[in-house]
């Protein structure tokens, strides 16, 4: 798949992002365009006009080009005679998919939308696109509309269905369609938003076995209310129009088996992709590391064999403790299978050892070249099995491979708990993997979700969010051009402040550049800035340099509460740290900062939280 085109990103999604009048504003915008006559009868130009509004005016919760293409390709493959969409909003998906169904030789497209205002917008844009005789827009509750269309004989079978409506109704509406024999073997389903905001009931249902669904049908549990796992914002999305949500009770057809596939994609707002690092810089760095490794090879070999001899001859208390724990099983302890990623680093390996000593079965994983077991976690006796991870490469395909490799390990090893200790190169991907793992398996992850990870990982968003909490941050400017960088630096020159240019993404070739700016001469400053790759698609931040000793902190946060915390002076080599006294005023101050940060979003703060001060 092609990478997301950032120039096509929708406007930022606000706190209130629909049902505030923007839908009617869209109609005025589209019909007010000077080329309206060229737009008439052309579905692609109607979609382009909607996209233009969402990019330049206000965000619209459309499926967008990226996800839309996935479904239109599926339509071309399936060639459905009848397609139904549940949830039409302003008609973007309706125009896009109906056009694709018609081109594929289909006969009818139904768009079911509960809100009459949204339904009117859909009808208007469908007519403008020249699809009025092919599309039937149905206003009202999805369950009621499905039953009525079936009773009337208007809808006899669904060849393909797109679910993008009220999230708690995905499962119940599907079961209704099964019971009415509208959905039968051969029907293809495409469900949006099963990752964000997520839809555990739907995914569990389509992935359940016949036996599991039969058992659930016999138990006949009450499904008239939204599942408690949905966030209030999702469950009460339409509370301003309907005070109480009641879902359709249906037995479904438990004998149906679904072949399920999860497809990752971008929201129309998009995500920022990091640029590739300098290949030459990496090659030079690798050569230096190889030379250094050969220099220390004799010493490393001696230490290796000495350690192996000690391991054989000396009984370690930790191993004895594990054996004692495992032999004294009580109802308070049950050995679990724990996956620790990042066991090539000290912190990951230490965690693996602690879980091992506590009596658990530890699975390790990290990036490692094929057929070259060089990761320290690979040979640790604390680890029951080691797996290589697919390394992200800055592309969507690379991210998908990484997330899938995590999911495969969790399934193969039947992991109960995943603790992520991976590096910054896979920070956002770990958030994506967490959401996949917890949606598709019973495993729990000590890792932040995608939104929280991006908020902490991306320098500009982290700084802005920290500032919004009332916490102190250095003076920071977002820079998208060399001209802007020079202008800011000249403005601050009289103050005597010094700044550091930092790339917003992850690029090891510039990560270590701590040059203090501005230089004494304007020409020297210009020369330095001219060497940097700065643009709208590759933004930087200019952050004030605060002189003084540096400290780093590490904390374990569970649902917004700091469970463990340590602070220590920063070290040049990331291998040895000496902790500050927890009673010192400096350590307590950094702990308070961490506690305030974690408490700001308790629902989404479970994971490792580290700050540099």
The domain that contains 371 carries what CATH number?
A: 3.40.50.20
Q: Reduced to 3 states, what is the DSSP secondary structure of residue 543?
A: strand
In residues, how long is the chain?
613
Least confident of 150-159, 161-170, 233-242: 233-242
Alpha carbons 471 and 466: distance in angstroms, whole number: 6
Check residue 244 and give its pLDDT: 59
Check residue 362 and give its pLDDT: 92
Least confident of 78-87, 420-429, 442-451, 489-498: 420-429
Residue that has been written with the tokens 């694709």 in this structure: 100
Single pTM value for the model: 0.48
Q: Is the pLDDT of residue 224 over 70?
A: yes
What is the average pLDDT value for the chain, to the nearest integer? 85
Number of domains the chain is built from? 4
Q: Is the pLDDT of residue 98 over 80?
A: yes
Within a domain: 278: no
Alpha carbons 91 and 16: distance in angstroms, whole number: 20
Is residue 75 domain-shared with residue 218, that is, in the same domain? yes
- For 417-463, give the DSSP string: EEEE---GGGHHHHHHHHHHHHHHSS-EEES--HHHHHHHHSHHHHH
Is residue 428 domain-shared with residue 322, that is, in the same domain? yes
Is residue 199 domain-shared with residue 215, that is, in the same domain? yes
How many CB atoms lie under 10 A from the CB of residue 83?
Answer: 27
Q: Is the pLDDT of residue 512 over 60?
A: no
Is residue 537 domain-shared with residue 571, that is, in the same domain? no
Confidence of residue 511 (pLDDT cuts 50, 70, 90): low
Check residue 283 and give its pLDDT: 52
Least confident of 47-61, 288-302, 495-509: 495-509
Within a domain: 279: no
SS (H, E, C) 226-249: CCCCCCHHHHCCCCCCCCCCCCCC
Within a domain: 280: no
Is residue 462 domain-shared with residue 426, that is, in the same domain? no
Check residue 32 and give its pLDDT: 96
Within a domain: 292: no
Q: For the CA atoms of 412, 415, 420, 421, what is the dihedral angle to 10 degrees?
A: -80
Residue that has been written with the tokens 């109960």 in this structure: 416
CB-based contacts of 420, cutoff 8 Å, min separation 6: 341, 342, 430, 433, 434, 445, 446, 447, 607, 608
Q: Between the CA of residue 509 and those of 47, 454, 461, 506, what are the distances in Å?
A: 41, 21, 22, 9
Q: 188, 207, 235 — which closes off a domain?
A: 235
Q: At what angle do helices 522-530 and 482-492 cross, to 10 degrees?
A: 150
Which CATH number characterizes residue 130's domain? 3.40.50.150
Is residue 148 domain-shared with residue 211, that is, in the same domain? yes
Alpha carbons 226 and 237: distance in angstroms, whole number: 11
Is residue 392 domain-shared with residue 536, that is, in the same domain? no
How many CB atoms lie under 10 A from the CB of residue 426?
Answer: 25
Check residue 27 and give its pLDDT: 96
Confidence of residue 291 (pLDDT cuts 50, 70, 90): confident
pLDDT digits (tens, 9 = 90+) for 347-361: 888 888 989 888 899
Alpha carbons 269 and 17: distance in angstroms, whole number: 12
Most confident of 146-155, 482-491, 551-560: 146-155
What is the 8-class DSSP label of residue 198?
I
Within a domain: 337: yes
Check residue 576 and give its pLDDT: 62
Confidence of residue 117 (pLDDT cuts 50, 70, 90): very high
Confidence of residue 191 (pLDDT cuts 50, 70, 90): very high
- For 79-112, give the DSSP string: --SEEEEE--TTSHHHHHHHHHHHHTT--EEEEE
- For 337-375, give the DSSP string: EEEEE-TTSHHHHHHHHHHHHTT-EEEEEE---TT----
Structure tokens of 394? Answer: 């800055």
CB-based contacts of 484, cutoff 8 Å, min separation 6: 477
Q: Is the pLDDT of residue 242 over 70?
A: no
Average pLDDT over residues 235-252: 71
Give the percent of the chain with pLDDT over 70: 88
Helix, strand, coil percentages in the chain from 3-state DSSP, rounded to 5: 45, 15, 40
Sign for the CA dihedral angle at 169, 440, 597, 503 comes to negative
| Distinct helix (H) and strand (E) counts, the chain | 23, 16
246 vs 35 pLDDT, higher one? 35
Cα 35 to chain centroid distance, Å, stands at: 39
Within a domain: 452: no
Q: 218, 235, 252 — which closes off a domain?
A: 235
Confidence of residue 337 (pLDDT cuts 50, 70, 90): very high
Least confident of 207-216, 301-310, 319-328, 400-409: 319-328
Is residue 436 domain-shared with residue 463, that is, in the same domain? no
Confidence of residue 371 (pLDDT cuts 50, 70, 90): low
Q: 427, 447, 467 — which closes off a domain?
A: 447
Selection from 319, 383, 320, 311 nearest residue 348 by Cα: 383
Most confident of 59-68, 119-128, 333-342: 119-128
CB-based contacts of 589, cutoff 8 Å, min separation 6: none
Confidence of residue 330 (pLDDT cuts 50, 70, 90): low
Domain with 84, as residue range(s), is: 63-235
Q: Reduced to 3 states, what is the DSSP secondary structure of residue 511?
A: helix
pLDDT digits (tens, 9 = 90+) for 538-586: 888 898 988 888 888 988 888 899 999 999 888 655 556 688 999 999 9
Average pLDDT over residues 219-240: 72
Is residue 435 domain-shared with residue 463, that is, in the same domain? no
Within a domain: 126: yes
Give the percent of the chain with pLDDT over 90: 37
Strands 82-86 and 108-113, by their bridges, are: parallel
Selection from 70, 60, 3 nearest residue 26 by Cα: 60
Confidence of residue 509 (pLDDT cuts 50, 70, 90): low
Check residue 274 and give its pLDDT: 31
Confidence of residue 369 (pLDDT cuts 50, 70, 90): confident
Check residue 592 and give its pLDDT: 93
Q: For the CA atoms of 506, 510, 514, 517, what is the dihedral angle to 10 degrees?
A: -110
Selection from 567, 563, 568 nearest residue 606 by Cα: 563
Is residue 196 domain-shared with residue 152, that is, in the same domain? yes
What is the 8-class DSSP label of residue 155?
-
Long-range Cβ contacts of 405-408 (<8 Å, 24+ apart): 405/365, 406/341, 406/365, 406/433, 406/436, 406/437, 407/433, 407/436, 407/437, 407/440, 407/441
Confidence of residue 260 (pLDDT cuts 50, 70, 90): confident
Check residue 304 and give its pLDDT: 78
pLDDT digits (tens, 9 = 90+) for 409-433: 999 999 999 998 877 667 788 888 8
Q: Is the pLDDT of residue 78 over 50?
A: yes
Is residue 511 domain-shared with residue 597, that is, in the same domain? no
328 vs 449 pLDDT, higher one? 449
Q: Between the CA of residue 452 and those of 153, 350, 465, 600, what are the distances in Å?
A: 48, 25, 11, 11
Alpha carbons 104 and 249: distance in angstroms, whole number: 35
Average pLDDT over residues 229-248: 69
Within a domain: 43: no
Average pLDDT over residues 320-334: 70
Is residue 86 domain-shared with residue 102, that is, in the same domain? yes
């Amino acid at each position: 798949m092609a990478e997301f085109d950032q120039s096509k990103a929708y406007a930022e999604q606000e706190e209130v992002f629909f049902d505030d009048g923007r839908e009617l504003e869209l109609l005025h915008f589209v019909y007010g365009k000077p080329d309206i006559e060229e737009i008439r009868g052309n579905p692609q130009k109607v979609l382009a006009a909607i996209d233009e509004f969402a990019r330049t005016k206000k965000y619209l919760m459309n499926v967008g080009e990226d996800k839309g293409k996935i479904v239109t390709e599926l339509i071309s493959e399936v060639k459905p005679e009848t397609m139904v969409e549940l949830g039409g909003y302003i008609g973007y998906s309706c125009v896009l998919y109906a056009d694709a169904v018609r081109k594929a030789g289909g006969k009818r497209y139904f768009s079911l939308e509960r809100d009459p205002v949204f339904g009117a917008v859909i009808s208007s844009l469908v007519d403008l696109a020249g699809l009025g005789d092919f599309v039937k827009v149905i206003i009202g509750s999805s369950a009621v509309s499905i039953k009525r269309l079936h009773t009337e004989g208007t809808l006899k079978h669904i060849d393909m269905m797109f679910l993008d409506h009220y999230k708690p109704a995905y499962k119940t509406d599907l079961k209704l369609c099964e019971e009415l024999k509208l959905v039968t073997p051969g029907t293809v389903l495409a469900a949006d938003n099963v990752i964000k905001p997520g839809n555990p009931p739907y995914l569990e249902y389509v992935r359940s076995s016949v036996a599991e669904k039969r058992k659930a049908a016999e138990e006949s549990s009450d499904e008239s209310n939204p599942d408690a796992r949905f966030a209030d914002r999702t469950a009460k999305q339409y509370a301003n129009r309907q005070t109480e949500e009641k879902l359709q009770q249906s037995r479904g057809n438990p004998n149906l088996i679904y072949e399920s596939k999860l497809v990752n994609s971008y929201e129309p707002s998009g995500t920022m992709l990091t640029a590739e690092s300098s290949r030459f810089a990496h090659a030079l760095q690798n050569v230096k590391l190889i030379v250094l490794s050969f220099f220390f090879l004799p010493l490393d070999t001696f230490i290796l064999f000495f350690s192996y001899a000690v391991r054989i001859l000396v009984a370690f208390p930790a191993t004895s403790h594990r054996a004692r724990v495992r032999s004294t099983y009580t109802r308070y302890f049950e050995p679990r299978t724990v996956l620790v990623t990042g066991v090539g680093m000290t912190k990951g390996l230490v965690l693996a050892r602690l879980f091992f000593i506590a009596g658990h079965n530890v699975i390790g994983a990290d990036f490692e070249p094929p057929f070259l077991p060089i990761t320290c976690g690979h040979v640790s006796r604390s680890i029951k099995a080691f797996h290589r991870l697919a390394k992200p490469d800055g592309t969507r395909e690379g991210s998908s491979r990484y997330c899938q490799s995590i999911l495969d390990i969790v399934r193969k090893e039947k992991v109960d708990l995943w603790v992520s200790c991976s590096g910054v190169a896979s920070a956002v991907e770990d958030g994506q993997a967490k959401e996949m793992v917890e949606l598709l398996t019973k495993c729990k992850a000590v890792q932040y979700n995608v939104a929280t990870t991006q908020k902490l990982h991306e320098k500009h968003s982290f700084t802005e969010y920290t500032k919004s909490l009332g916490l102190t941050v250095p003076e920071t400017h977002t820079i998208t051009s060399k001209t802007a960088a020079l202008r800011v630096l000249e403005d601050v020159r009289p103050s005597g402040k010094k700044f550091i240019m930092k790339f917003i993404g992850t690029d090891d070739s510039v990560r270590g550049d701590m040059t203090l700016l501005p230089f004494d001469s304007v020409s020297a400053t210009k020369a330095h800035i001219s060497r940097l790759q700065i643009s709208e698609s590759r933004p930087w931040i200019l952050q004030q340099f605060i002189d003084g000793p540096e400290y780093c902190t590490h904390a374990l946060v569970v649902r917004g509460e700091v469970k463990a915390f340590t602070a220590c002076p920063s070290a040049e080599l990331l291998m040895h740290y000496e902790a500050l006294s927890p009673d010192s005023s400096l350590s307590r101050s950094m702990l308070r900062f961490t506690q305030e940060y974690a408490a700001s979003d308790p629902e989404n703060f479970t994971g490792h939280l580290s700050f540099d001060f």
